[in-house]
Chain A
Amino acid sequence: MTGPTVAAPRETPPANPLAEFLLRLGDDRLVLGHRLSEWCGHAPILEEDIALANIALDLVGQASAFLAAAGEAEGQGRTDDTLAYFRDEREFRNALLVERPNGDFAVTILRQFLFDAWSVLLLDALKTCGYAPLAAIAAKALKEATYHLRHSSEWVLRLGDGTDESHARAQRALDDLWRFTGELFQTDAVDEAVAGMGIRVDYAALRSRWNDMVSDVVKRATLALPADQPAATGGRRGRHSEYLGHMLAEMQSVARAHPGATW
Chain B
Amino acid sequence: MEQKPQATPEDPAKLAQFQARIDAGESIEPKDWMPERYRKQLVRMMSQHAHSEIVGMLPEGNWITRAPSLRRKMSLLAKVQDEAGHGLYIYCGTETLGVDRAELVDQLLDGRAKYSSIFNYPTLSWADIGVIGWLVDGAAIVNQTVLAKASYGPYARAMIRICKEENFHKRQGFEIVATLAAGTPAQQAMVQDAVNRWWWPSLMMFGPSDTDSPNSAELLRWKVKHKTNDELRQRFVNLTVPQAIAVNLTLPDPDLTYNAETKNWEFGEIDWAEFHEVIRGNGPCNRERLAARRAAHENGRWVREAAEAHAAKQRRRSTEAA
Q: Do A and B come from one complex?
A: yes
Q: Is A188 an interface residue (CB 8 A)?
A: no
Among A17-25, A40-48, A139-147, the stretch that binds chain B is A40-48
Q: Mark out the residues of chain A between 206 and 263 whose CB falls within 8 Å of any chain B CB in the assembled complex.
A: 250-251, 253-255, 258, 260-263
Among B166-174, B225-233, B306-314, the stretch that binds chain A is B306-314
Tell me how far the C-beta of B36 lies from the nearest C-beta in chain A, rounded to whole angstroms: 28
Asked if A42 and B302 make an inter-chain contact with CB atoms under 8 angstroms apart, the answer reads: no
Known contacts A163-B306, A261-B184: A45-B81 contact under CB 8 Å: no
Partner of B306, one of A63, A67, A166: A166
Asked if B65 and A64 make an inter-chain contact with CB atoms under 8 angstroms apart, the answer reads: no
Residues of A within 8 A of B87 (CB): 46
A41, A56, A64, A251 interface centre (most CB from chain B within 10 Å): A41
Asked if B292 and A60 make an inter-chain contact with CB atoms under 8 angstroms apart, the answer reads: no
A34, A61, A263 interface centre (most CB from chain B within 10 Å): A263
Partner of A60, one of B70, B85, B295: B70
Known contacts A49-B84, A263-B69: A166-B77 contact under CB 8 Å: no
Tell me how far the C-beta of B64 lies from the nearest C-beta in chain A, rounded to whole angstroms: 5
Q: Mark out the residues of chain B between 57 and 105 whose CB falls within 8 Å of any chain A CB in the assembled complex.
A: 57-58, 61, 64-74, 77-78, 80-81, 84-85, 87-88, 91
Q: Is B299 an interface residue (CB 8 A)?
A: yes
Query: Binary interface profile of B, 39-62, with partner A (CB < 8 Å = 1, else 0)?
Result: 000000000000000100110010
Q: How many residues of A contact B (CB 8 A)?
A: 49
Q: Is B236 an interface residue (CB 8 A)?
A: no
Residues of B within 8 A of A48 (CB): 300, 303
Asked if B67 and A161 make an inter-chain contact with CB atoms under 8 angstroms apart, the answer reads: no
Tell me how far the C-beta of A220 lies from the nearest C-beta in chain B, rounded to whole angstroms: 11
Tell me how far the C-beta of B186 lies from the nearest C-beta in chain A, rounded to whole angstroms: 6
Asked if A158 and B306 make an inter-chain contact with CB atoms under 8 angstroms apart, the answer reads: yes
Q: Is B305 an interface residue (CB 8 A)?
A: yes
Query: Binary interface profile of A, 156-189, with partner B (CB < 8 Å = 1, else 0)?
Result: 0111011101100100000000000000000000
Q: Mark out the residues of chain A between 104 and 155 whose CB falls within 8 Å of any chain B CB in the assembled complex.
A: 104-105
Query: Binary interface profile of B, 174-189, with partner A (CB < 8 Å = 1, else 0)?
Result: 0010011001101100
Known contacts A251-B65, A254-B66: A42-B296 contact under CB 8 Å: yes
Partner of B302, one of A85, A165, A250, A255: A165
The residue in chain A whose Cβ has the minimal distance to the Cβ of B81 is A53
Residues of B within 8 A of A67 (CB): 70
Residues of A within 8 A of B67 (CB): 254
Asked if B307 and A162 make an inter-chain contact with CB atoms under 8 angstroms apart, the answer reads: yes
Q: Is A80 an interface residue (CB 8 A)?
A: yes
Query: Binary interface profile of B, 186-219, with partner A (CB < 8 Å = 1, else 0)?
Result: 1100000000000000000000000000000000
Residues of B within 8 A of A49 (CB): 57, 81, 84
Tell me how far the C-beta of A64 lies from the nearest C-beta in chain B, rounded to whole angstroms: 5
Q: Is A193 an interface residue (CB 8 A)?
A: no
A40, A84, A258, A261 interface centre (most CB from chain B within 10 Å): A40
Tell me how far the C-beta of B73 lies from the nearest C-beta in chain A, rounded to whole angstroms: 6
Residues of A within 8 A of B115 (CB): none
Asked if A37 and B184 make an inter-chain contact with CB atoms under 8 angstroms apart, the answer reads: no
Q: Is A57 an interface residue (CB 8 A)?
A: yes
Residues of A within 8 A of B74 (CB): 57, 60-61, 64
Asked if A166 and B81 make an inter-chain contact with CB atoms under 8 angstroms apart, the answer reads: no
Asked if B126 and A45 make an inter-chain contact with CB atoms under 8 angstroms apart, the answer reads: no
Query: Binary interface profile of A, 24-60, with partner B (CB < 8 Å = 1, else 0)?
Result: 0000001000100110111111111110011011001
Q: Is B221 an interface residue (CB 8 A)?
A: no
Q: In the bound complex, what is the Cα–Cα distance between A258 and B184 (angstroms)? A: 9
Known contacts A81-B69, A162-B305, A261-B187: A40-B80 contact under CB 8 Å: yes
Q: In the bound complex, what is the Cα–Cα distance between A162 and B81 (angstroms)? A: 27
Known contacts A40-B77, A261-B183: A46-B64 contact under CB 8 Å: no
Q: In the bound complex, what is the Cα–Cα distance between A84 and B72 (angstroms)? A: 13
Interchain residue pairs with CB less than 8 A apart (25): A30-B70, A37-B73, A38-B64, A44-B296, A45-B300, A46-B54, A46-B91, A48-B300, A48-B303, A50-B85, A53-B77, A53-B81, A57-B77, A60-B73, A81-B71, A158-B307, A158-B310, A162-B305, A162-B310, A163-B305, A166-B305, A166-B309, A251-B66, A254-B67, A261-B183
